[in-house]
Chain A
Amino acid sequence: MTPPDPGPQTVLCGEVRTSVLRTSEALTARTATQLLNLRPDEHVLLSERPNLRVVSPHQLTGVDCRLPALTGGRPRAVGTVAVRAVLTEGRVLQTSAFARLVPGVGSHRKPWGHYLLRPGDIEPLARHQARDVVEGFLASAPLPGGVLNPGSIAERLLDEVLRHQLLDQRAPFKSGRTRLRWTALPAAEGAQASIERFTVAADGLRTVALRTPSADPSAVAALCEDLALHDWLLTTLLALVERSRLGSGDGEAVLAALRPLVDHLLHLWMPGARVPDALAGVWETLERRPGFSRQWQSLVQRIRDQVALRTVPLSRPVMARS
């Protein structure tokens, strides 16, 4: 039996794109700040503990679009989507676009000034069910044209930042981008933040459905950026370890393949470092199963063992023979 319609609810939704920064050396705090200085009128946020994280000011993109919906019609909605860029340890770049779908329904489109006063809010112009919008948004197929698509807004900003002249376009290793699309519905009264699902579709799209007590879009987006960052790290490390043919005999080649991982990736693992307490439950769930850190630690251990084994000179016969 379907639960009764809880009435109008706030829906948060967004998408995060994650990519390696295409530069041979990781950026320092100073150059990272220059890179993400997207708006002259607002400051770049910089934090150095527990790791270097630089966040650009928000940009706003006006949208007049249809809301995704799995079952019903696609109601029209108007407002703005916020997008920002985040750089971790001068090495991993993320762009994150998100919006808050406000409850209640307007009847007609208002002047843009109205929407600009509510940055990151989108106002529906027809009745809709929050659950339906969530399901439509997370359906893995590419979102149809004309439908709210924070991913394409994030993608545009990612391409823009990655072309910056500060970057020499030489990444230390080959890696792909990942896409994580997320939604958050209000948690039940008094309940903690929880994760309802985390899936990876065939085309590589990650989808996350959350329940959060906080309706602060920026905080929830930051949690999703953290999830996307660690998912990207794990994905990238797995792919690079597979390519390095760890078990094969060619020591030099394996070492050459592992070296950039040691130089640029292994120190980046820090799940939940900046996630506020109210949202921390999400990481706890993910750590229990599938156990992101468990898999990461085992990979890191494997890499370190290989590096150690292959650098020890076998000058003497193996001791076990004695």
Chain B
Amino acid sequence: MLVFAASDKGGTGRSVTSSNVAYRRALAGDDVCYLDFDFGSPTAAAVFDVPGASRGVAAGGLHSHLQGRHTEPHRIDVWAESEHEELRYRPTGSGRLVLVPGDRDGGEFAIGKDTVRRCVNLFLQLESEFDVVVVDLSAGRSYAVDMVLEATAQPELARVLSRWLVFHRWTHQHVIAAHGLVFGERGIVAGGVERGHDKGALRDSIRFVRAAVPDPESPLWAHVPLAQSEWMRKCDRDLTELAAELDLGYARLLGKIPLEPVLQWREQLITDEDVLASKVAGMPTRQALEELAAALVDEEAWERQ
């Protein structure tokens, strides 16, 4: 399965959340590969705490591979190379977790026919090797988004299961922007249709993930003045209504990640150690990530329309 992680703007926690989903899928026994297609700032390696690659690798990364400068992009075995204490020992029953980093001095590049061909080859190869291939795309309607839309429109990839996760923060602006990114005139759906995708099928393969969502019912806010708590609830209701109007409602919702300082500031994988022993991350966050990872492969969640 190919999973494309997109977001309307930066700062939505797309990379950190999708990395955590990849990690959770690997813990569940899937072989997982994570591709850093954020050509502007390849930083996924930092999330996985891989030394020497935190801003992409010096040579042999994804950018140069797609541009034809080498045939095999560098792979990092996260279980073997991560410096994260918890990640250094691969748990029994877990699957492989492989990171394919970007190039340090990457940047966006023009997309020609050859680039798309290499991209198709790469997806086909990884899909035949891994259960889940997460592709972390740069924010907005980037070159990366265009390229994967073009690649997945090719007949060779027609039978390969592709799913999109669109991350957005839970604010008025972000809900509108996420709607624009997917359904707008220059959005993912329109861009896909232009390249030969079936409109209905593409729409149905897209789900939203709400990030940094403050939960008005959380004990965190138990001691705020009544007026403030009322106001928070009202905002949340208004946003829920707005999302429903814009087709970002329940049917297209795959997960909600609570506002979590560790995700915001440390931008790392949340392990059980973080939740249970050092308690720097909250149980609800761990729960939300686990549910999102489960929903990713849950057919029912993808049949809702």
Give A20's nearest chain B residue, CB to CB: B128
Provide the residues of chain B in CB contact with A245, threshold 8 Å.
29, 93
A176, CB-defined interface residue at 8 Å: yes
Q: A142-B60, A243-B95 are in contact. Are A169 and B129 (CB under 8 A)?
A: no
Q: Distance in Å from the Cβ of A232 to the closest Cβ of chain B?
A: 13
Give the shortest distance, in Å, between A121 (CB) and chain B (any CB).
23
Per-residue CB contact flags for chain A residues 140-157 toward chain B (1 = under 8 Å, else 0) read 001001000001100110
Which of B68-76, B142-150, B211-219 forms part of the interface with chain A?
Answer: B68-76
B283 proximal to A (CB < 8 A):
no
Of A72-80, A158-166, A298-306, the segment with at least 4 beta carbons within 8 Å of chain B is A158-166
Residue interface bits A14-30, CB-to-B below 8 A is 1, else 0? 00000110100000000
Whether B302 sits at the interface, judged by CB under 8 Å, is: no
Closest to B131 in A: A174
Q: Which residues of B contact A311 (CB under 8 A)?
A: none
In the complex, which residues of chain A have a beta carbon less than 8 angstroms from the beta carbon of B156? 163, 169
Q: Which residue of B lies closest to A167 (CB)?
A: B156
What B residues does A168 contact at CB under 8 A?
159
Minimum CB–CB distance for B178 against chain A, Å: 31
Q: Does A170 contact B (CB under 8 A)?
A: yes
A22/B95 contact (C-beta < 8 A), A174-B129, A175-B129 known? no
A32 to B29 alpha-carbon distance, docked (Å): 34
- Tell whether A108 is near chain B: CB-to-CB under 8 Å: no
Q: Is the CB of B71 within 8 A of A169?
A: no
**Interface status of B183 (Cβ within 8 A of chain A):** no
Given the complex, which residues of A lie within 8 Å of B171, measured CB to CB?
none
A171 within 8 A of B: yes
Assess the B71–A155 pair: CB atoms within 8 A: yes
**A294 close to chain B: CB less than 8 A:** no
Separation of A142 and B60 alpha carbons in the complex (Å): 9
Q: Which of B71, B95, B130, B157 has the most CB of A within 10 A?
A: B71
Selecting from B36-44, B118-126, B192-200, the interface stretch reads: B118-126
Query: Does A177 belong to the interface (CB within 8 Å)?
Result: yes
In the complex, chain B residues whose CB is within 8 Å of the CB of A145 = 69-70
Q: How many A-B residue pairs have CB under 8 A?
A: 52
Q: Which residues of B contact A152 (CB under 8 A)?
A: 70-71
Are B130 and A169 in touch, CB under 8 angstroms? no
**B contacts with A, residue count (CB < 8 A):** 23
Contact B159 A159 (CB under 8 A): no
* Cβ of B52 under 8 Å from chain A: no
* Given A174-B129, A174-B131: A165 touches B121 (CB 8 Å cut-off): no
B160 touches A169 (CB 8 A): yes
B155 CB–A CB distance under 8 Å: yes
With A169-B159, A169-B160, A177-B129 known to touch, is A142 a contact of B72 (CB < 8 Å)?
A: yes
CB-defined contacts of A171 to chain B, threshold 8 Å: 128
How would residues 264 to 276 of chain A score, 1 for a CB under 8 Å from any chain B CB and 0 otherwise? 0000000000000
B124→A163 contact, CB < 8 A = yes
| Interface pair A142/B70, CB less than 8 Å apart | yes
Alpha-carbon gap, A177 to B159, bound state (A): 21
Interface contact A169-B95, CB-CB below 8 Å:
no
Flag if A174 contacts B128 (CB, 8 Å). yes
Residue of B nearest to A204 (CB): B75
> Are A159 and B125 CB-contacts (below 8 A) given A145-B70, A151-B71, A245-B93?
yes
User: Please, which residues of chain B bring their CB within 8 A of the CB of A22?
Assistant: 124, 128
Q: Chain B residues with Cβ under 8 A from A20's Cβ?
A: 128
Is residue B31 contacting chain A, with contact meaning CB distance below 8 A? yes
Interface string of B150-175 (1 = CB under 8 A from A): 00000111011000000000000000
Known contacts A151-B71, A159-B121; is-contact A174 B130 (Cβ 8 Å): yes
Contacts of A159 in B (CB 8 A): 121, 124-125
Which residues of B come within 8 Å of A, CB atoms? 29, 31, 60, 69-72, 75, 93, 95, 120-121, 124-125, 128-131, 155-157, 159-160
A-B contact pairs, 6 of them (CB 8 A): A19-B128, A22-B128, A145-B70, A163-B120, A163-B156, A169-B156
Other than the known A145-B69, A245-B93, what 7 A-B pairs have Cβ atoms closer than 8 Å?
Answer: A142-B60, A142-B72, A159-B125, A163-B120, A163-B121, A169-B156, A175-B128
